[in-house]
Chains A and B, each alone.
Chain A
Amino acid sequence: MTGPADEYVSHADLGGTLGHGPVVPEPEGELFHHAWEPRVLALNVVAGATGKWHTDISRSYRERLPDYADLSYYEVWLAGLERVLVGRGLVTDEELDAGHALVPPIEIAGVLAADRVADALAAGRPAEREPSHPARFAVGDRVRTRAGRVDHHTRLPGYVAGRVGTVERVHGAHVFPDTHAHDLGEQPEWLYTVVFDAIDLWDDAAPGQTVSVDAWEPYLSPVEGTS
């Protein structure tokens, strides 16, 4: 599951799909619903410090879980972590079943020590990089998003695919998930906020409604009459 697959299917692209029922609000202090949930959160954060994967790879493993739709979000995080640990060679399926180490560990970048956690959380992992070329689009440009499906991880939601919108912000060059998730390098690309009139996305949109996504330059092509 590490390289681009012929049949890459994400089960996470939910925008605009119907039939999921009402939203159930939740009080502000209610963070977890089972004792194991905070452990899963923390395992994801701490195991990520091994340096054997990064956010784009985690997301790619999570969105490909075949039973994604049936899992709660922390169940997705647990199953995704198990899969990425196996996929990156840190543990084996037999070890997951046994709940114990059966083979020697592989080399990792480092172990996040308890007294380094606060610093690590405060540092984060910025995604902006030096651009390799000037931005192709400017604020106000009309652009069309890529249409059709792709056989790899991507961050262009299906509901805006092939639609025309307007560049509203230029964010600089950011790590490109489509390559980064497949060990093909960061390949930084310009990132734009592109805004769409909702009526161009949905027949039943309310007047005055707009929707924006953050889209990398390779997702966009110029619309005639601009740039």
Chain B
Amino acid sequence: MDVRVRALETLLTEKGYIDPAALDEVIDAYQTRIGPRNGARVVARAWVDPDFATWLRTDANAAIASLGYGGRQGEHMVALEQTDDTHHMVVCTLCSCYPWPVLGLPPTWYKSAPYRSRVVRDPHGVLADFGVALPDDIGVRVWDSTAEIRYLVIPQRPAGTDGWSEEQLARLVTRDSMIGVGLPLDPSTFDDVEVTA
């Protein structure tokens, strides 16, 4: 594959279709600037600022843009709030649609047949693959991203985090919790933060 990819890069450069330095810029952007820590900041802001949470509900694009995130593969954002009654999960069964500006590039499993085939049919089984068990009485809602709408799951703020700063809270927010296949980290495992509740 290395040879084949290098050959294509050479060919497109010789034809004058690409600036090879632009390739490095793209890779750098997704390795350093555009990743799930962006989404974690969005979630943490929603946890500490009820007005921001409302804004996210009514105009996710604008709310997310106010933190500096937007653009390619996040042109039409919708935020999905986890509640005690409903657990949201996001998939793209037809390809790999994913909210790049807030979560970065999708993980391998998100793009692979096991997840894409099964989550719409057996979401509890998929959650079990991630080590997550939900209460029996919770409704599971699976969102198949078949158009250009991109979904960001807003997990519930863990108990025992009263008084935590936005930055501290953001550390609890995992990528998987913003897709709906995981939950935020347990705050009691962070011994450098004083737990007040």
**Which of these, B2, B117, B124, B146, contacts A206 with CB under 8 Å?**
B124
* Shortest Cβ distance from A45 into B: residue: B26
A40 to B111, CA, bound (A): 15
Are A96 and B8 also in contact (CB < 8 A) when A23-B118, A124-B74, A214-B149 are?
yes
Considering the chains assembled together, what is the distance between the CA atoms of A201 and B174 in angstroms? 31
Give the complex CA separation of A214 and B142 in angstroms. 12
What are the residues of chain B within 8 A of A85 when measuring CB–CB? 12
From A23, A191, A209, give the contact of B115 (CB < 8 A). Answer: A23
Q: Choose one: A31, A124, A159; the contact of B70 (CB below 8 Å).
A: A124
Return chain B residues, CB-CB under 8 Å to A23: 109, 112, 114-115, 118, 126, 129-130, 181
CB of A3 closer than 8 Å to a CB of B: no
Determine the residue in chain A with the shortest Cβ distance to B36.
Answer: A28
Chain A: which residue is nearest B182 at the CB level?
A25
Give bound CA distance, A1 to B95, whole Å: 19
A12 contacts chain B at the CB level, 8 A cutoff: yes
Residue of chain A at shortest CB distance from B5: A36
The stretch from B16-24, B41-49, B50-58, B155-163 touching chain A is B16-24
Q: Size band of the A side of the interface?
A: 35 or more
Asked if B94 and A16 make an inter-chain contact with CB atoms under 8 angstroms apart, the answer reads: no
Residues 35-70 of A at the B interface (beta carbon under 8 Å): 35-36, 38-43, 45-47, 50, 55, 59, 62-63, 69
Interface check A135, CB cutoff 8 A: no
Contacts of B91 in A (CB 8 A): 15
Sample of 6 further A-B pairs with CB below 8 A, known A24-B109, A28-B174, A171-B149: A15-B144, A24-B129, A42-B23, A43-B18, A63-B94, A214-B149
A: residues with CB less than 8 A from B are: 10, 12-18, 20-26, 28, 30-31, 33-36, 38-43, 45-47, 50, 55, 59, 62-63, 69, 72-73, 75, 78, 81-82, 85, 90-91, 95-96, 98-101, 105, 108, 111-118, 120-128, 155-157, 159, 169, 171, 174-175, 177, 191, 193, 195, 198, 201-202, 204-206, 208-216
Residues of chain B touching chain A, judged by Cβ–Cβ distance below 8 Å, are 1-2, 4-12, 14-19, 21-27, 29-31, 34, 36, 70-76, 78, 91, 93-96, 104-105, 107-109, 111-118, 120-124, 126, 129-130, 137-149, 174-176, 181
Counting from the closest, the 4 A-B pairs by CB-CB distance are A99-B7, A15-B93, A214-B147, A114-B21
